[in-house]
C-alpha cells in the first residue's frame, strides 16, 4: 500500500445482499464514549465480520447506527445478537433488523443524506448514463454538451458565492481557493486535485478520477463539459472577467488526469 492511497467511501445505506448470510441491524443508542467499541466487540466475539457501518449525527443525545454484517461463520444468529444488545438497556434503546427489498438491505432511519450540514442526493451510474445518453439522443451532440457546460457554469458561480465569499477569497489567495476546490470536490466525490500551476494570466489544473469522465463512453474525446463549466463559473466569478477554458488531457482518451487550461481574458 502506498502512502496517500485512496479508499472509496461507501456513502449511503443501501447494500446489495450478494452473499448467503448477510444481515443488517439498526441500533438506536445513547450517545456515549465507547459505544462503537461495544458494538464492534459484540460482533467480533461472535465471529461476525462487519461489512458496512454508518451512523447519524453524533451531536445528538441519541444516535442511529446501521451495521451490516456477514453471519456466515457467526456463533450467534441475528435475533440472538439483537436480544444480547437489548439486555444492555443503559446503552441500547432499540435494536431491530434493517429493511430488505428484493436483494437490497437498506436503512429507513438514516435519512436524508447530509454533507457538512447540507442535504445531498446521490445520483448513481444508471441515472447519469441515462441523462447523458438522452441529452445527446433528443437534443443532439453539440446542444447536449452546451447544456452540460452552462449547467456546470451556474453551479460554479453559485458554489463560489456560497463557499468562497465567506472566506473572503480573492485573486491574491489563489492557493486558498485551490485548497477549497479540492476539499469540496473530494468530499462530494467529484474529483481529486492532483496539481496546479498559476501563471500570469493562466491557471493549469490536473484532476484525478473526474466523475463525469468516468461515466463517458468514447463518443467525445474530451468528456468534462459539466466539470469544465463548473471551473469556468468559479474563476469568472473570482476575477469578474471572461475566462477561456480548455481541456487538453482527459481520462476518456487514456490520459492519467483531466488537465484544464484556464485563461483569464482582458
* Lowest-pLDDT range of 8-17, 102-111, 178-187, 244-253: 8-17
Instruction: Give tens-digit pLDDT for 115-139.
Output: 878 888 888 777 777 887 788 788 8
Q: Which of 57-71, 98-112, 162-176 has the lowest mean pLDDT?
A: 98-112
Cβ atoms of residues 169 and 237 within 8 Å: no
Predicted confidence at residue 81, as pLDDT, reads 97
**CB atoms < 10 A from the CB of 164, how many?**
20
- According to the model, what pLDDT value does residue 1 have? 41
Q: According to CATH, where is 3.30.1380.20 located in the chain?
A: 140-264
Average pLDDT, whole number, for the chain? 90
**Residues 17-56 pLDDT 10s:** 666 789 999 999 999 999 999 999 999 999 999 999 999 9
- The C-alpha atoms of residue 33 and residue 148 are separated, in whole angstroms, by 46
Give the pLDDT score at 217: 62
**Among 66-75, 110-119, 144-153, 200-209, which stretch is predicted with the lowest mean pLDDT?**
110-119
Q: HEC string of 116-132?
A: CCEEECCCCHHHHHHHH
- Confidence band for 222, pLDDT divided at 50, 70 and 90: low
For domain 140-264, give its CATH number from 3.30.70.1380, 3.40.30.10, 3.30.1380.20, 3.40.50.2300.
3.30.1380.20
CA dist 245 and 156 (Å) reads 13
- Helices 174-187, 225-239: inter-axial angle, 10-degree rounding: 150
* All cell numbers assigned to 47: 465471529
Q: In the structure grid, which three cell numbers stand for residue 22, read together?
A: 448477510
Which is nearest to 224 in space by CA: 237, 236, 211? 211
All CATH 3.30.70.260 domain ranges of the chain, comma separated, are: 14-120
What is the pLDDT averaged over residues 231-241?
Answer: 97
Confidence of residue 220 (pLDDT cuts 50, 70, 90): low
Per-residue pLDDT for 218 more than 70?
no
Q: What is the mean pLDDT of residues 57-76?
A: 94
Cα angle for residues 163, 164, 170 (degrees, 5° grid): 175
Please tell me the distance from the alpha carbon of residue 257 to that of residue 193, in angstroms, as a whole number: 9
In CATH, the architecture of 14-120 is 2-Layer Sandwich (3.30)
Q: How much is the average pLDDT of 165-184? A: 95
Amino acid at each position: 500500500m502506498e502512502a496517500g492511497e485512496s479508499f472509496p467511501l461507501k456513502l449511503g445505506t443501501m447494500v446489495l445482499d450478494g452473499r448467503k448470510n448477510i444481515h443488517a441491524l439498526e441500533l438506536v443508542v445513547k450517545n456515549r464514549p465507547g459505544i462503537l467499541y461495544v458494538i464492534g466487540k459484540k460482533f467480533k466475539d461472535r465471529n461476525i465480520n462487519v461489512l458496512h457501518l454508518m451512523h447519524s449525527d453524533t451531536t445528538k443525545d441519541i444516535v442511529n447506527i446501521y451495521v451490516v454484517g456477514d453471519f456466515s461463520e457467526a456463533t450467534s444468529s441475528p435475533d440472538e445478537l439483537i436480544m444480547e444488545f437489548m439486555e444492555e438497556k443503559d446503552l441500547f434503546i432499540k435494536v431491530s433488523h434493517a429493511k430488505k427489498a428484493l436483494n437490497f438491505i437498506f436503512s429507513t432511519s438514516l435519512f436524508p443524506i447530509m454533507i457538512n450540514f447540507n442535504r445531498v442526493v446521490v445520483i448513481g451510474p444508471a441515472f447519469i448514463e441515462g441523462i447523458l445518453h438522452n441529452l445527446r439522443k433528443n437534443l443532439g451532440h453539440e446542444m447536449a454538451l452546451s447544456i452540460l457546460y452552462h449547467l456546470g457554469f451556474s453551479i460554479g458561480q453559485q458554489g463560489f458565492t456560497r463557499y468562497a465569499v465567506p472566506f473572503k477569497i480573492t485573486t491574491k489567495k489563489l492557493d486558498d481557493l485551490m485548497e477549497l476546490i479540492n476539499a469540496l470536490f473530494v468530499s462530494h466525490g467529484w474529483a481529486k486535485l492532483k496539481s496546479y500551476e498559476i501563471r500570469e494570466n493562466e491557471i493549469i489544473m490536473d484532476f484525478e478520477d473526474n466523475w463525469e469522465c468516468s461515466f463517458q463512453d468514447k463518443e467525445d474525446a474530451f468528456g468534462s463539459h459539466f466539470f469544465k463549466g463548473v471551473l469556468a463559473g468559479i474563476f469568472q466569478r473570482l476575477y469578474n472577467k471572461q475566462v477561456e477554458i480548455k481541456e487538453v488531457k482527459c481520462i476518456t482518451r487514456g490520459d492519467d488526469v483531466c488537465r484544464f487550461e484556464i485563461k483569464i481574458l482582458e
